[in-house]
């Protein structure tokens, strides 16, 4: 109290000088000012240590000593607040103040002194009137959280470092092995995408979800379709493979970004694992090549190319006809089936663009069905509207009459299969037309070959519906008993009435029966006259 009395008197003398000088910056810069602080010593307080508490002290004092700062102390148990001037070079209640350069009085807990004791110091006028409490939980929680998270952070950094080192070493070894100068793409997890099972067939995922793209080098263009181009390409094998060729030849079908829908349809058809069949193109993976603005489908590569080009260049033996015809029927029957050969349920699929250029010839001289860009999964959930919206699709030359007329029976999903069977009949006719067993074999011609190169729907309607035309089957062909039976199969498959057509499954059986037909020796054509380029 003695000090308070002195201060009030002193105040009278100095306050005048102070108020004259305050606001006069030039003078302030020259003379260091005595601070003006709240100075009530101890007062009762209602502060609850949250937000800002007011000191409730109405007495101001110009500090006696020039270096003194404003100080406030709050005691939780006593519920008192103390406001004073204090020289920070001296201890205050036994502690050295370290926040006296602050402009505001931010309360600090001095636990070592007394856990209920908070002190703040500051340098601006009356700054110890407002006692600022920062959220205690935050202040206390930060170090606790940091300490708790430290092992997790250290572990994460360790794992990332180990993975990074492992990957860099694998890449390094790979480059050393292949003398690779630095690929545009690296191996990533090729093995998990394309591996081989015990039978040597390639196992696949439907989509390459790795951020890194497969290490594929495109070689030559081998096909050009409506939606995409097909390239022969080299897929580098992953380094872990021992005794395996350093690359695998694959086909890459490249869709420009405008044909995204086609890529998506074909990918969705291929991604059904139950589609796998020896006569259906083997799918490896799909990739979104964002940098090039392209969508890729990576599949098996068949060096003999498509059936149309193959037939254009070669004559076939009777045995070869049987092999091609029956394998094509097996491929279509598998596509249409709603069960796998093992009896597992499978979604039936229709191709809707079956033609000789969408069939590849495998090395074992069997057919391989490809190009599922117009395929449709006959999901039981598909509504009639959805089927109707799928529209009139395909290639006019190979379209069944009911498709040409857009009169397909949407109530019955079998109708879509019947339309595929019609198209298959035309392909079987093309195969037969190039078989030496028919006698005099002409140059290759597509079905309805006299029509222009890409006949439109209207001219096909004139031929197929109005004139009920079908490709010619001369009587001379039927001198060969086997060919005669094949021609009967073809005729039953292109019937005007979709319901009257054979199923693909029946066609297999008819071909199977033909394997056992004992042809007379004169009907057998010596095999060394066929199979060569014409
Ligand atoms: N043309 C289209 N697809 C092909 C493939 N997978 N192999 C060879 N030629 C093709």
For the record, the structure tokens of 179 come out as 């003398």
Q: Does residue 57 sit in helix, strand or coil?
A: coil
Quick one: pLDDT at residue 43? 87
Q: How far apart are CA 415 and CA 421, in angstroms?
A: 10
Q: Flag whether 464 is in a domain.
A: yes
Q: Does residue 195 sit in helix, strand or coil?
A: strand
pLDDT at 193 over 50: no
- Last residue of a domain, which of 282, 300, 318? 300
Q: How far apart are CA 35 and CA 15, in angstroms?
A: 10
Q: What is the distance in A from the centroid of ligand 1 to the CA of 304?
A: 9
For 456-467, how does the pLDDT look when each residue is reduced to its tens digit (9 = 90+)? 999 999 999 999
CATH number for position 296: 3.30.200.20
Among 293, 147, 296, 327, which Cα is nearest to 214's?
Answer: 296
Say if residue 327 is in the same domain as residue 405: yes
| 333 is annotated as contributing to ligand binding | no
Where does the pLDDT of residue 341 fall: very low under 50, low under 70, confident under 90, or very high at 90 and above?
Answer: confident
Percentage of the chain exceeding pLDDT 90: 55
pLDDT at 517 over 50: yes
For 432-445, how does the pLDDT look when each residue is reduced to its tens digit (9 = 90+)? 999 999 999 999 99
- Look at 483 and 391; give whichever has higher pLDDT: 483
Q: Among this protein's residues, is 353 annotated catalytic?
A: yes
Say if residue 314 is in the same domain as residue 448: yes
Identify the residue whose C-alpha is closest to ligand 1 atom 10: 305
Say if residue 120 is in the same domain as residue 223: no
Report the number of distinct structural domains present in the chain: 4
| 453 is annotated as contributing to ligand binding | no
Model confidence, pTM: 0.62
- Last residue of a domain, which of 300, 331, 353? 300
Quick one: pLDDT at residue 298? 96
CATH number for position 426: 1.10.510.10
Quick one: pLDDT at residue 176? 43
Q: Flag whether 18 is in a domain.
A: yes
Q: How far apart are CA 179 and CA 196, in angstroms?
A: 25
pLDDT at 448 over 90: yes
Q: Flag whether 146 is in a domain.
A: no
Identify the residue whose C-alpha is closest to ligand 1 atom 1: 223
Say if residue 234 is in the same domain as residue 358: no
Quick one: pLDDT at residue 310? 98
Say if residue 266 is in the same domain as residue 316: no
Query: 256: Cβ below 6 Å to ligand 1?
Result: no
- Last residue of a domain, which of 244, 278, 300? 300
pLDDT at 133 over 80: yes
Q: Does residue 435 sit in helix, strand or coil?
A: strand
Q: How many CB atoms lie within 10 A of CB 237?
A: 18
Angle among Cα 337, 338, 339 to the nearest 5 degrees reads 90
Query: 223: Cβ below 6 Å to ligand 1?
Result: yes
Q: Flag whether 462 is in a domain.
A: yes
For 91-132, how does the pLDDT look when each residue is reduced to its tens digit (9 = 90+)? 988 888 999 999 999 999 877 778 888 999 999 999 989 999
CA dist 55 → 42, 45, 120, 359 (Å) = 10, 7, 12, 91
Q: Flag whether 6 is in a domain.
A: yes
Query: 282: Cβ below 6 Å to ligand 1?
Result: no
Q: What is the distance in A from the centroid of ligand 1 to the CA of 236?
A: 19
Q: Flag whether 145 is in a domain.
A: no
The residues that bridge with 74 in the sheet, in sequence order, are 81, 118
Say if residue 497 is in the same domain as residue 369: yes
Say if residue 383 is in the same domain as residue 505: yes
pLDDT at 28 over 50: no
Atom of ligand 1 nearest to the CA of 300: 6
- Look at 381 and 508; give whichever has higher pLDDT: 508
- Look at 122 and 5; give whichever has higher pLDDT: 122
Percentage of the chain exceeding pLDDT 70: 79
Pocket test for ligand 1, best of 296, 305, 307, 353 (most atoms within 8 A of CB): 305
Say if residue 459 is in the same domain as residue 480: yes
Say if residue 90 is in the same domain as residue 120: yes
| 417 is annotated as contributing to ligand binding | no
| 225 is annotated as contributing to ligand binding | yes
Supply the mean pLDDT for the chain. 83
Angle among Cα 391, 361, 413 to the nearest 5 degrees reads 25
Sheet holding 51-54, edge to edge: 51-54, 130-133, 105-106
Pocket test for ligand 1, best of 283, 284, 357, 370 (most atoms within 8 A of CB): 370
Say if residue 421 is in the same domain as residue 516: yes
Quick one: pLDDT at residue 163? 80
pLDDT at 505 over 70: yes
Q: Flag whether 151 is in a domain.
A: no
Identify the residue whose C-alpha is closest to ligand 1 atom 3: 230
pLDDT at 528 over 80: no
Q: How far apart are CA 63 and CA 36, in angstroms?
A: 6
The residue from 129, 353, 371, 495 that is catalytic is: 353
8-state DSSP, 194: S
Tell me which residue range forms the domain holding 347: 307-529
Angle among Cα 455, 458, 459 to the nearest 5 degrees reads 50
Say if residue 9 is in the same domain as residue 121: no
CA atoms within 13 A of residue 472's CA, in its CB half-sphere: 8
Q: Helix H segments across 228-275?
A: 260-270
Say if residue 215 is in the same domain as residue 351: no
Q: Flag whether 314 is in a domain.
A: yes
């Amino acid at each position: 109290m003695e000090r308070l009395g002195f201060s009030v008197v002193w105040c009278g003398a100095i306050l005048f000088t102070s108020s004259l000088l305050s606001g006069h910056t030039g003078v302030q810069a020259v003379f260091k000012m005595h601070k003006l602080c709240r100075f009530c010593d101890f007062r009762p307080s209602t502060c609850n240590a949250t937000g800002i508490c007011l000191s409730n002290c109405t007495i101001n004092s110009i500090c006696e000593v020039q270096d003194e700062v404003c100080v406030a102390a709050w005691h939780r148990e006593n519920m008192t607040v103390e406001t004073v001037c204090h020289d920070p070079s001296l201890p205050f209640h036994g502690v050295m103040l370290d926040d006296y350069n602050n402009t505001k009085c931010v309360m600090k807990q001095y636990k070592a002194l007394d856990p209920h004791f908070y002190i703040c110091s500051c340098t601006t006028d009356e700054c110890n009137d407002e006692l600022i409490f920062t959220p205690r939980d935050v202040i206390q929680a930060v170090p606790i959280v940091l300490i708790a998270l430290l092992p997790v952070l250290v572990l994460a950094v360790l794992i990332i470092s180990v993975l990074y080192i492992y990957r860099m070493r694998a890449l390094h070894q790979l480059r050393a092995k292949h003398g690779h100068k630095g690929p545009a793409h690296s191996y990533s997890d090729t093995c998990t995408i394309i591996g081989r099972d015990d039978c040597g067939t390639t196992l696949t995922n439907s989509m390459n979800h790795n951020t890194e793209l497969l290490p594929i080098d495109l070689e030559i263009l081998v096909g050009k379709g409506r939606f995409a181009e097909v390239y022969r390409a080299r897929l580098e094998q992953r380094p872990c493979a021992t005794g395996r060729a350093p690359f695998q030849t694959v086909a890459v079908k490249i869709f420009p970004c405008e044909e995204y829908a086609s890529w998506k349809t074909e990918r969705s058809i291929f991604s059904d694992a139950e589609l796998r069949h020896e006569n259906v193109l083997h799918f490896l993976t799909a990739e979104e090549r964002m940098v090039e603005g392209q969508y890729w489908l990576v599949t098996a590569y068949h060096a003999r190319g498509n059936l149309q080009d193959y037939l254009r260049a070669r004559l076939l033996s009777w045995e070869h006809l049987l092999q091609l015809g029956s394998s094509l029927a097996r491929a279509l029957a598998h596509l249409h089936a709603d069960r796998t050969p093992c009896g597992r349920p499978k979604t039936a699929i229709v191709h809707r663009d079956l033609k000789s250029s969408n069939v590849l010839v495998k090395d074992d001289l069997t057919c391989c069905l490809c190009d599922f860009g117009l395929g449709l999964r006959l999901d039981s959930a598909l509504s009639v509207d959805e089927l109707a919206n799928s529209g009139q699709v395909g290639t006019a030359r190979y379209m069944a009459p009911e498709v040409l007329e857009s009169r397909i029976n949407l109530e019955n999903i079998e109708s879509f299969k019947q339309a595929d069977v019609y198209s298959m009949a035309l392909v079987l006719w093309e195969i037969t037309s190039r078989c030496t067993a028919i006698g005099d074999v002409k140059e290759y011609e597509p079905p309805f070959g006299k029509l222009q190169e890409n006949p439109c729907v209207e001219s096909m309607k004139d031929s197929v519906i109005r004139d009920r035309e079908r490709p010619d089957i001369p009587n001379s062909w039927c001198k060969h008993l086997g060919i005669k039976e094949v021609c009967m199969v073809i005729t039953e498959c292109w019937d005007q009435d979709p319901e009257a057509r054979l199923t693909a499954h029946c066609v297999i059986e008819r071909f199977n029966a033909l394997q056992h037909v004992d042809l007379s020796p004169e009907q057998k054509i010596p095999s060394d006259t066929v199979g060569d380029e014409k």
